[in-house]
A and B are shown apart, each in its own frame.
Chain A
Amino acid sequence: MRRHIPLLVEALTAIGLIATPFVVPHLGFAPDTVNQILTWGLFGIGFDLLYGYTGLLSFGQSAFFGTGGFVAAYLLTNNLMANVPLALLIGIVGAAVAGVAVGVIALRRTGIYFAMITVAIAETFFFLENSPLSAWTGGENGLPGVPTPTFHLFGLTWAVGTGWSMYWFLAACYFIGIVVALRIVRSPVGAILIAIRDNPLRARAVGHAIGLYKLAAFVVAAAYAGFAGGLLGVMQGFMPPDAFTFDTSGQLVMQTVIGGGATLFGPLLGAAVWLYLRDFLQAVVGLGAAWKLVLGLVFVLLVTFLRRGLIGGLVDAVALLRGRARPAEAEGDAPAISTEPPPLASIARRRRQDDAFTGPVLEARGLTKTYGGIAANRDIDFTVTAGELRAVIGPNGAGKSTFFKMLTCEVPPSAGTIRFHGRDITGLDVSRVCQMGLTKSYQVNQLFARQTVAQNVMVAALAERRGIFRLDLLRSIRSVRGLQAQVEQTLAMVGLAARAEVPVAELAYGEKRRLEIALALAASPSLLLLDEPLAGMSPRERVETVQLLKNIRRGRTLIVVEHDMDAVFELAERITVLHEGRKLAEGTPEEIQRNSFVQDAYLGGVAAE
C-alpha cells in the first residue's frame, strides 16, 4: 500500500517537477504554459481541499486569488517592499484574512446557498477592486511592473528570470504547497473534513464543531488562492484586474472537476488539459473562439459520466483491472458477536468534568415540541439514573423520534429543559453535547459512506480524543495518542474488527447497523441513545445485536427506542411509553405489561399485527 512508504507522494512530486522541463517541451508545452499550469495547480490545491475534500463548492475563489495577488503586487510595485517572498507571504495572510471575513458569512449556509453567496461576494470584490479601490489596484489597468525575486543564499545569487528560470521558482512554490496540503490531508483535520463532506450531520453528531472546521478549510483555500494570485503577478510581471472575475473562479472549478476532485493533483492535471486544449484547439485545429465550446462540452460530459474526473476515472479503471485480476480478495463471513465482554476499560477515556456527578444522568422537565401549531411532544418529564437501560416505546407517530432528537439536542425544544449530569444542556449544539458524553445511534444509518469501516470509527474517535475543535493541520493522524487502540477496540466490541479495511458500501445491512452503533460508541458516551437498533434486521442479526447491547451497557447508561417487544422486554430495566406525543406510562417491564392503558393503546395493536 502506498501509504506505508513515507513521503512517497512527495518524492514522486519532486521527481516529476524536476523532470518536467526535460520532458514537456517534447509534448509541445512552452515554459510559459507550464508556468501557468503550475499557478493554476497551486490555486487548485486550496480549492480541492475546500471542494474535493470538504464538499464546499465555492464559485468565489477569484476573490482571494485577486486579494493575495494585489496585496503582494501593491507592496512590490510601490517600492514598499523589495523582498518578493515576504510580499507573497503578506499576500497570503491578506487572502486568509479575507477568507475569514467571507467564510463567516458564506458558511452560514450550505449547498446552493453557499455557491450563490460565494459568487456574489466574489463579484463584490471585483467591483470594489475595479472602482473604489482603483487607486491601489490600478482598476481596469491592473498593476504592471511586478518584479521577479532574487535570492541570496550562501553567497550565491539567483535572479529569477522568465521562462524556465521562472519555472524553478514556481515549481518550488508548488512543491511547498503540495507538501503542506498532503500533511493537511493526512492530519486529523483532513479526516474530519472528508467526514464533513460525506455526512456533515453525523460529523457534527459525533462531536466535531463542523462550522469551525469548514471555516478552517475555507481559510486554507483562500490562503492558497492568495499564494497563487501573488505568483501570477510575479510570473507575468503584471497583476491583472481580471484576476477577480467570475471567469477565474469558473475556470478553476472546471479545471478541478476535469482533473478530478479530492486528489490534490487533479487541478494541476485539469489546468494542463485546459491550457493545452486551448492552445491546441486555437492554433492547430484553428477553432478560433470556439475552443471554449469544446471545453464546455467536455466538461458537461465529464460531470455527467466521469464524475471523479480524469484521475478518478484512471483510478477506477485501474481498480477494475485489478479487481478482475484478483477476484479472490473477497470478504469472509460476518463474524458473530462474542458473548465475552471486550476489554473496553483498557481504553483511557478522556476525563470529563461531570464524571464525579452522582445524581440522575438525564433529567428532562416539561419537554414540548410543536411544529407549526401541531405538538409532536407535549410536556414530557423523563429521568434516567446512572447505569440504567431504559426503553422508550410507543406506536408509530407517538413522537419517539422527536423526543430523541430533543434529548441529544438535534432539535431545540419549544418548551422545557434537559439536564445532563446536572448541567442544563437545553439549546446546546449537538456536537457539544456529544463531547459531554451524550450521543445516539440513528434509526436510519448515518455513516460516512465513501470511507472504510475503520475510517468511519476513527472520525468519531477523533472527536473523543481531540475535543470539539483543534487546528492540528500539520500533525499526522497516526500520532494521535490512543486513537488506533480506541478504533480497534470499538470495532472488536461490535464484531467488525475483521472488516476494518472494507469500504462501507460493501457491508451487509446488519454490519452497517453495528457500525452505526460503533460510531456512537467510539465517542465513549456515558449516556448512549439507540434509535431502533434492531430495525430491519434478520432474526440472526437481531440475536447478535441484542447480545451486543448487553455487552455495551456495562459502564454506560442506555436509552433504546425499539419496536421489537421481545428485545425490549429482554433488555430493559424500565420502560417509558409514549402515546400521541405524551408520556402514557413508565415502569418496569412487568408493570408496563400489566398497564391497561398501554395494552389498549399500544400492545394490543402490536399483537394484532
Chain B
Amino acid sequence: MQFARSGAPKRRDVLKSGAVLAATAALPGFWMPMAQAAEDQPAIGTWPAGSAGDSVFIGISVPRTGTYAVQGEDELKGYMLAVEHINSGDPLLRAISPKTTKGVLGKKVTYGVADSEAKPNTAVQEQSRFISQNKAVLFTGSTSSAVAVALNKFAQREKVLYVTGISGSNDTTGKDCVRYGFRQCFYGQTAAAALAPVLIKAIGKDKKAAYLTPDYTYGHTVQKSMEEYLKPAGWTTVTNQVAPLGAPDYSSYLLNVANSGADVLLNINWGHDAVLSTQQAKQFGILAKQKLVIPYQIPFLAKEVGAELTAGVYAATDFWWTLQDKFPLAKMFVESFEKKYGYKPEWGAENAYMSFAMWADAVERAGTFYPPAVIKAFEAGQHIQSMVGEVWMRAADHQLVRPVVIVQGKRPADMKSPDDYWEVVEIVPGEGVMQAPDAFGCKLGPYT
C-alpha cells in the first residue's frame, strides 16, 4: 500500500506496545476515540465524524487569482448553485438524482471556499484544512490537471471523496487515477477522438500542424492525443511550442510558429494563457495564414478575445448553453443559473453542478456517507440524466461516459445575442470515443 494512514489498525499497533507508550498514547494524534460504528464499517477518513451532525461539509478550492481565475469563479458558481439545489430539492437536481428530497440523506450541505491559485500545493493545504477542521465528506476543485492529480492522490491518502473540477489531462483518470476520485468532464483523448474527424473533414488531409502547449500534464496529454488522432489522416506536427503556465509574452513562441510553415495552429493553452496567446497570434499575423483550433475549450475565451478571433474556430467542449434547445435539463440549468448570476453558464459551471449532483445521487443510492459504500454506488454504473443526455460512471477508471460537444465559433454578424459565440456542430457520443479503461495505466487502488 502506498500511503500510511492513521487508521484503526495502526492505532491498535501503537496501543499494543503497552505501558511504555501509555504516556504518549494520551497525546492527541496517538489517541483517537475508537469508532462507534459497526465492525464492517470502521472509521475511515472523516467518516463517521463528518456526517455525525445534521449537516455535512464540502471543501471547495478553485483558483480565484492567477491564470485560471476567470474559469475558477464560473466553476464556483456552479458548485454554489448545486448546493442550493441539493438543499432545496430543486427539480433539476432531482432529475439527476431522483432519490434526493432535501439535502443529502436528510442532512444539509454546507461548504467552504478557498483560493487554490491553481497551484497544487495551495490546493492540497486548503483541502487538508477543510478535512481536519471541517471534517469535509467531499472535496472538489481544480481548474488545472496538476491540481486535480495532486488532489486525487490526496483523496486516496485521506480516504475522503474527491470530484475533480475542470481537468483535461488523460492522466487524471489514467495513470494517476484513484479509487476516491471521480471525473465528470471530457478530457484530452476524448476531445481528440471527437474533434479530429471534424477537423479532417473541414480542413482536409495531410496538413501541417503547430501546437502551443502548456507545460504540464494537461497540455502534454492533450497534445499527444491530438497528434495521435490526426496522424492517420496524414497530419504532421511541424512544431510544438511548450510554454510555462502564466507566460507573460508569447512572441518568441509565436515567431517559431509563424516560421514553421504550419497550416493549422492548435492552441492548447488554457485560461488567461489562451487569451493572451490567441490575441498575440492574431497580432503576429498568424491567424491570417493558419487555421486556429482549440482542442479543449476555454470558458469565456470568445468573450475575452472577441468573436472576430474565434469565428470559424473549431473547439471541443463539455457543454455550451445553446444545448438547451436540445436537452430539457440544460434548459433548466441555464435558466436557473442565469437567473441567479446574470449570465449564461460556461462549461466549468456545468461540470461543477453535475459533479455535486452525481455525488448526491451516489450517496442517496448508497444510503450512507461511508466512503467505500458511496464509491460502490458510483461504480454501479447507474445511468443518470444530465444536461447532455444519459451518462454513466465507468467503474474501471471513474471516468464519466458522456458526449463530447464540438462547437465552431460564430462570426459576429451571425450572433443572435451577445452570448451567442459558438455554434454546436456535433454531439459525439462518449462510448465511441473513449479509450479502453486501462489504456492509460489506471490502477484505482484500495477502498479502505
Within the complex, which residue of B17, B112, B216 is in contact with A283, where a contact is CB–CB below 8 Å?
A: B112
Does B383 sit within 8 A of A, measured CB to CB? no
Give the distance in Å from the alpha carbon of A243 to the alpha carbon of B119 in the complex. Answer: 10
A-B CB contact pairs (8 Å), 14 listed? A21-B28, A31-B29, A144-B149, A154-B20, A156-B17, A157-B13, A159-B4, A159-B13, A166-B29, A236-B125, A240-B119, A240-B121, A240-B124, A288-B64
Within the complex, which residue of B64, B152, B154, B217 is in contact with A140, where a contact is CB–CB below 8 Å?
A: B217
Give the distance in Å from the alpha carbon of A194 to the alpha carbon of B317 in the complex. Answer: 61
Interface size class of B (residues with CB under 8 A): 35 or more
Q: Establish whether residues A162 and B120, one from each chain, have CB atoms under 8 Å apart when the complex forms.
A: no
Does A141 sit within 8 A of B, measured CB to CB? yes
Within the complex, which residue of A22, A237, A241, A288 is in contact with B3, where a contact is CB–CB below 8 Å?
A: A237
Give the distance in Å from the alpha carbon of A33 to the alpha carbon of B134 in the complex. Answer: 13
Instruction: Collect the chain A residues with CB atoms within 8 Å of residue B114's CB.
Output: 282
Does A469 sit within 8 A of B, measured CB to CB? no
Does B420 sit within 8 A of A, measured CB to CB? no
> Contacts A30-B133, A156-B17; is A161 near B4 (CB within 8 Å)?
yes
Instruction: Collect the chain A residues with CB atoms within 8 Å of residue B153's CB.
Output: 144-145, 237-238
Within the complex, which residue of A164, A237, A240, A288 is in contact with B29, where a contact is CB–CB below 8 Å?
A: A164
**Shortest CB–CB separation between residue B437 and chain A, in angstroms?**
21
Q: Establish whether residues B30 and A165, one from each chain, have CB atoms under 8 Å apart when the complex forms.
A: yes
Q: Establish whether residues A148 and B119, one from each chain, have CB atoms under 8 Å apart when the complex forms.
A: no
Q: Establish whether residues B154 and A142, one from each chain, have CB atoms under 8 Å apart when the complex forms.
A: no
Instruction: Collect the chain B residues with CB atoms within 8 Å of residue A127's CB.
Output: 244
Does B435 sit within 8 A of A, measured CB to CB? no
**Shortest CB–CB separation between residue B165 and chain A, in angstroms?**
16
Within the complex, which residue of B17, B29, B154, B244 is in contact with A130, where a contact is CB–CB below 8 Å?
A: B244
**Shortest CB–CB separation between residue B75 and chain A, in angstroms?**
15
Task: Find the A residue at minimum CB distance from B20.
Answer: A156
Q: Establish whether residues A289 and B14, one from each chain, have CB atoms under 8 Å apart when the complex forms.
A: no
Instruction: Collect the chain B residues with CB atoms within 8 Å of residue A140's CB.
Output: 144, 146, 214-217, 244-245
> Contacts A159-B4, A165-B29, A242-B121; is A237 near B157 (CB within 8 Å)?
yes
Chain A 203-237 per-residue mask, 1 if CB under 8 angstroms from chain B, else 0: 00000000000000000000000000000000011
Interface centre among A25, A32, A140, A243 (most CB of B within 10 A): A140
Does B280 sit within 8 A of A, measured CB to CB? no
> Contacts A33-B129, A162-B158, A163-B132; is A142 near B121 (CB within 8 Å)?
yes
Chain B 1-26 per-residue mask, 1 if CB under 8 angstroms from chain A, else 0: 01111110010011001001100000
**Shortest CB–CB separation between residue B11 and chain A, in angstroms?**
9
Does B128 sit within 8 A of A, measured CB to CB? yes
Instruction: Collect the chain A residues with CB atoms within 8 Å of residue B34's CB.
Output: none
Task: Find the A residue at minimum CB distance from B64.
Answer: A289
Does A147 sit within 8 A of B, measured CB to CB? yes
Instruction: Collect the chain A residues with CB atoms within 8 Å of residue B119's CB.
Output: 240, 242
Give the distance in Å from the alpha carbon of A32 to the alpha carbon of B136 in the complex. Answer: 14
Known: A30-B133, A147-B4. 10 other contacts (CB 8 A): A32-B125, A127-B244, A131-B242, A156-B14, A162-B128, A167-B29, A237-B3, A238-B150, A240-B121, A241-B146
**Shortest CB–CB separation between residue A143 and chain B, in angstroms?**
9
Interface residues of A in 129-161 (CB under 8 A from B): 130-131, 134, 139-142, 144-145, 147-150, 154-161
Give the distance in Å from the alpha carbon of A197 to the alpha carbon of B250 in the complex. Answer: 43
> Contacts A21-B29, A237-B153; is A147 near B115 (CB within 8 Å)?
no
Does A168 sit within 8 A of B, measured CB to CB? yes
Give the distance in Å from the alpha carbon of A163 to the alpha carbon of B158 in the complex. Answer: 10
Within the complex, which residue of A21, A154, A161, A242 is in contact with B122, where a contact is CB–CB below 8 Å?
A: A242
Task: Find the A residue at minimum CB distance from B134.
Answer: A30
Give the distance in Å from the alpha carbon of A161 to the alpha carbon of B45 in the complex. Answer: 11
**Shortest CB–CB separation between residue B248 and chain A, in angstroms?**
13
5 nearest A-B pairs in the assembled complex, by CB-CB distance? A161-B6, A164-B29, A240-B121, A140-B216, A144-B153
Instruction: Collect the chain B residues with CB atoms within 8 Å of residue A36's CB.
Output: 125
Give the distance in Å from the alpha carbon of A36 to the alpha carbon of B128 in the complex. Answer: 11
Q: Establish whether residues B14 and A158, one from each chain, have CB atoms under 8 Å apart when the complex forms.
A: yes
Q: Establish whether residues B149 and A162, one from each chain, have CB atoms under 8 Å apart when the complex forms.
A: no
**Shortest CB–CB separation between residue A414 and chain B, in angstroms?**
48
Instruction: Collect the chain B residues with CB atoms within 8 Å of residue A166's CB.
Output: 29
Instruction: Collect the chain A residues with CB atoms within 8 Å of residue B283's CB.
Output: none
Q: Establish whether residues A238 and B120, one from each chain, have CB atoms under 8 Å apart when the complex forms.
A: yes
> Contacts A156-B20, A289-B115; is A164 near B28 (CB within 8 Å)?
yes
Give the distance in Å from the alpha carbon of A165 to the alpha carbon of B7 in the complex. Answer: 11
Using a CB–CB cutoff of 8 Å, the interface residues on chain A facing chain B are 18, 21-22, 25, 30-33, 36, 127, 130-131, 134, 139-142, 144-145, 147-150, 154-168, 236-238, 240-243, 279, 282-283, 288-289
Q: Establish whether residues B14 and A157, one from each chain, have CB atoms under 8 Å apart when the complex forms.
A: yes
Within the complex, which residue of B64, B132, B157 is in contact with A32, where a contact is CB–CB below 8 Å?
A: B132
Task: Find the A residue at minimum CB distance from B10.
Answer: A159
Give the distance in Å from the alpha carbon of A127 to the alpha carbon of B243 in the complex. Answer: 11
Does B27 sit within 8 A of A, measured CB to CB? yes
> Contacts A30-B132, A161-B29, A237-B154; is A141 near B4 (CB within 8 Å)?
no
**Shortest CB–CB separation between residue A226 and chain B, in angstroms?**
17
Give the distance in Å from the alpha carbon of A227 to the alpha carbon of B21 in the complex. Answer: 28
Q: Establish whether residues B21 and A279, one from each chain, have CB atoms under 8 Å apart when the complex forms.
A: no
Give the distance in Å from the alpha carbon of A151 to the alpha carbon of B215 in the complex. Answer: 38
Chain B 126-169 per-residue mask, 1 if CB under 8 angstroms from chain A, else 0: 00110111000000000011100110111001100000000000
Instruction: Collect the chain A residues with CB atoms within 8 Å of residue B30's CB.
Output: 164-165, 168
Q: Establish whether residues B150 and A131, one from each chain, have CB atoms under 8 Å apart when the complex forms.
A: no
Q: Establish whether residues B216 and A141, one from each chain, have CB atoms under 8 Å apart when the complex forms.
A: yes
Give the distance in Å from the alpha carbon of A149 to the alpha carbon of B6 in the complex. Answer: 12
Does B176 sit within 8 A of A, measured CB to CB? yes
Does B251 sit within 8 A of A, measured CB to CB? no
Interface centre among A18, A139, A141, A238 (most CB of B within 10 A): A141
Instruction: Collect the chain B residues with CB atoms within 8 Å of residue A168's CB.
Output: 27, 29-30
> Contacts A144-B149, A279-B129; is A161 near B5 (CB within 8 Å)?
yes
Give the distance in Å from the alpha carbon of A150 to the alpha carbon of B245 in the complex. Answer: 37
Task: Find the A residue at minimum CB distance from B216.
Answer: A140
Instruction: Collect the chain B residues with CB atoms within 8 Å of residue A18's CB.
Output: 27
Instruction: Collect the chain B residues with CB atoms within 8 Å of residue A240's CB.
Output: 119-121, 124, 150
Give the distance in Å from the alpha carbon of A177 to the alpha carbon of B132 in the complex. Answer: 26
**Shortest CB–CB separation between residue A248 and chain B, in angstroms?**
9
Instruction: Collect the chain B residues with CB atoms within 8 Å of residue A289's CB.
Output: 64-65, 115
Give the distance in Å from the alpha carbon of A282 to the alpha carbon of B125 in the complex. Answer: 14
Give the distance in Å from the alpha carbon of A22 to the alpha carbon of B153 in the complex. Answer: 30
Task: Find the B residue at minimum CB distance from A36.
Answer: B125
Give the distance in Å from the alpha carbon of A238 to the alpha carbon of B124 in the complex. Answer: 8
Give the distance in Å from the alpha carbon of A148 to the alpha carbon of B5 in the complex. Answer: 8
Within the complex, which residue of A144, A148, A242, A288 is in contact with B115, where a contact is CB–CB below 8 Å?
A: A288
Instruction: Collect the chain A residues with CB atoms within 8 Å of residue B2's CB.
Output: 145, 147
**Shortest CB–CB separation between residue B202 and chain A, in angstroms?**
32
Interface residues of B in 208-248 (CB under 8 A from A): 214-217, 242, 244-245
Q: Establish whether residues B217 and A141, one from each chain, have CB atoms under 8 Å apart when the complex forms.
A: yes
